[in-house]
Amino acid sequence: MRLYFVRHGIAEDLATSDFDRELTKRGRRRVANSAKVMKRLGIKPSQIYSSPRLRARQTAEIVADALGRGVTLSEAVNFGFDRADVRRLTRNLSADDEVMFVGHNPDMSILVSEITGVDLSMKKGGLARVDVIGRAVDEGELVWLIAPKVFDALQDSAKPAAATSGGKLSTPAQKLPATAQPLHNLIKHRWSPVGFNRERDIDRETLLSILEAARWAASSANLQPWRFIVAPRSDAAEFQKALSVLKEGNQTWAQYAALLIIAVAHRYPKPDYRHAYASHDLGLAVGQMVMQALDHGVYAHQMAGIYPEKARETYQIPSEFEPFTAIALGYRSEGLDHLGESQREREAAPRQRKALSEIVFTGSWARPAAFLSAGKA
Ligand SMILES: Cc1cc2nc3c(=O)[nH]c(=O)nc-3n(C[C@H](O)[C@H](O)[C@H](O)COP(=O)(O)O)c2cc1C
């Protein structure tokens, strides 16, 4: 089990009672920053217990909001919080669970010191991660202790860099392109995984950004012939519906994606006008979507393997639109035990490409462009 201990953020000195001391503006801001970093660290407590004192509760609520969790107020985490309280509060949790406690000093620092055997003092807004074996919460290892200043620095480093704003990318070495040419970081890292993280969902903000990227693609005559049917895993019924439209081979791995999208082309903008470039434009929009997703650390796998007519029926898609492809999106999973042998092999295989000389010509068909040869302009 993984235990997270958070000391409340900076609070007002004065209030009608100690119980009602609120976080200061700075305290709130810092906790909000820390919470964003906690999210990036992938902290996912199944329970967040907070002392009912206002400054702890506000701290817990800001963190819980960022992590998409709820808060349980508990007197146990109030002054006097100790090992017996941790035992009681974790009694019904499983060995794989993560749990967070938001409370006060000196009890929090004393408690973490007792569990880990490390003499430490937690700053306001600080966070300690303690791993224990199974559910034996009396003794554990201090994995790290983050002071608020470090959170601030980590938050700064998460701000968009010039080229890539960098959600966390986790492309394995064999999937990076074997090329001497400089490529944009996102192009380098894009590939089509089958191993998706089965727990981490794509939040609304990220999803909107991904869809917005598609919206701003170029298109022939600005006809914008793309339409997207979106099914997040969190909506089990919709997700199943979208999954059922995929060919079975794709279902085997796409079932673990965080999100499925059915991409549809507007093929007949007018009854007598077939838009020949609709699929080109749809592909372009999906291309932008894929790159924007990767900028958030979300990987995409496109699929032609769908049943278009089943999609039409399932979603009552009018005849002037053509269900075209599907896209599975999600964070990557390092562990691939949930996949079959062939999929694991696929994940381990290097990516192959035709040589530029096979695809870039000058003068006449299939004559490789002269500039491709070394030493030529
Ligand atoms: C339009 C399109 C359709 C695809 N259809 C499928 C599919 O049905 N099933 C699948 O597993 N992969 C599918 N792929 C993924 C390709 O196999 C993959 O992009 C290709 O092998 C290159 O690998 P990379 O994307 O990792 O560079 C599709 C990709 C595109 C762009």
**pLDDT tens figures, 240-287:** 999 999 999 999 999 999 999 999 999 999 999 999 999 999 999 999
Q: What is the pLDDT of residue 346?
A: 93
State residue 374's pLDDT score: 66
Is 80 exceeded by the pLDDT of residue 325? yes
d(CA 298, CA 36): 17
Structure tokens at 9: 């953020």
Q: Which two tokens stand for residue 120?
A: 């430490």
Task: Tokens for 291, please give them.
Answer: 């790159």
Task: Kindly report the protein residue whose alpha carbon is nearest to atom 20 of ligand 1.
Answer: 192
In the chain, domain spans: 2-156, 173-359
Laid out side by side, the sheet with 321-330 consists of 226-232, 259-266, 321-330, 299-303
Mean pLDDT of 283-309: 97
The continuous run of DSSP H or E covering 50 comes out as strand 47-50
Sign of the CA dihedral running 48, 2, 171, 342: negative
Mean pLDDT for all residues in the chain:
93
CA distance linking residue 36 with residue 66, whole number of Å = 6
Phi then psi dihedrals of residue 35, to 5 deg: -65, -35
For residue range 107-153, list pLDDT tens digits in order.
999 999 999 999 999 999 999 999 999 889 999 999 999 998 888 88
Mean pLDDT to the nearest integer, 34-42? 90
**78 pLDDT above the threshold of 90:** yes
3-state secondary structure (DSSP) of residue 333: coil
- Ligand 1 center to residue 193 CA distance, Å? 9
Ligand 1 center–CA 290 separation, angstroms: 12
Q: Summarize the confidence of residues 201-229 as an average pLDDT.
A: 97
pLDDT of residue 162: 36
What percent of the chain stands above pLDDT 90?
A: 84
**Which residue's alpha carbon is nearest to atom 13 within ligand 1?**
303
11 has a pLDDT exceeding 60: yes
DSSP 3-state assignment of 38? helix
Average pLDDT over residues 26-53: 92
Predicted confidence at residue 130, as pLDDT, reads: 96
Report pLDDT for 169.
Answer: 84
Tokens standing for 249? 């081979």
pLDDT beyond 60 at 159: no
Report how far ligand 1's centroid is from the alpha carbon of 130 (Å).
Answer: 41
Q: What is the pLDDT of residue 377?
A: 42
Question: Residues near ligand 1 with C-beta < 6 Å?
Answer: 191-192, 250, 302-305, 325, 351
Q: Which residue has the higher pLDDT, 374 or 153?
A: 153
Residues 6+ apart with CB under 8 A from 57: 50, 51, 71, 73, 102
Q: Mean pLDDT, to the nearest integer, of 322-336?
A: 95
Task: Report the pLDDT averaged over residues 3-30.
Answer: 92
Atom of ligand 1 minimally distant from the CA of 194? 11
Q: What is the pLDDT of residue 313?
A: 98
Q: Are 102 and 50 in contact (CB under 8 A)?
A: yes
Considering Cα of 29, then 33, then 36, then 38, what sign does the dihedral take?
A: negative
Given the candidates 3.40.50.300, 3.40.50.1240, 2.40.50.140, 3.90.550.10, the CATH classification of the domain at 2-156 is: 3.40.50.1240
Q: Average pLDDT of 314-321?
A: 98
More confidently predicted of 299 and 171 = 299
Higher-confidence residue of 261 and 337: namely: 261
What is the chain's length?
377
Using the atom order of ligand 1, give the atom closest to the CA of residue 247: 8
* Amino acid, res. 11: A
- Domain range 173-359, CATH class: alpha beta
The first and second tokens of residue 70, run together, are: 């709820």
pLDDT at 376 over 50: no
Q: Return the C-alpha torsion angle 280, 281, 285, 288, nearest 10.
A: 60
Q: Among 196, 280, 303, say which to mutate for ligand 1: greatest number of ligand atoms within 8 Å of CB.
A: 303
Q: What is the pLDDT of residue 167?
A: 62
Phi, psi of 215 (to 5 degrees): -60, -30
Q: Closest Cα to atom 31, ligand 1: which residue?
A: 302
C-alpha 190 – ligand 1 centre gap (Å)? 12
Residue 190 pLDDT > 50, yes or no?
yes
pLDDT of residue 120: 94
- pLDDT of the residue at 375: 56
Range of lowest pLDDT (1-5, 162-166, 340-344): 162-166
Asked if the model's pLDDT at residue 160 lies above 50, the reply is no
* CA nearest to 240, candidates 250, 251, 227, 249: 251
30 membership: H or E segment, kind and range: helix 25-40
**pLDDT reported for residue 163:** 37
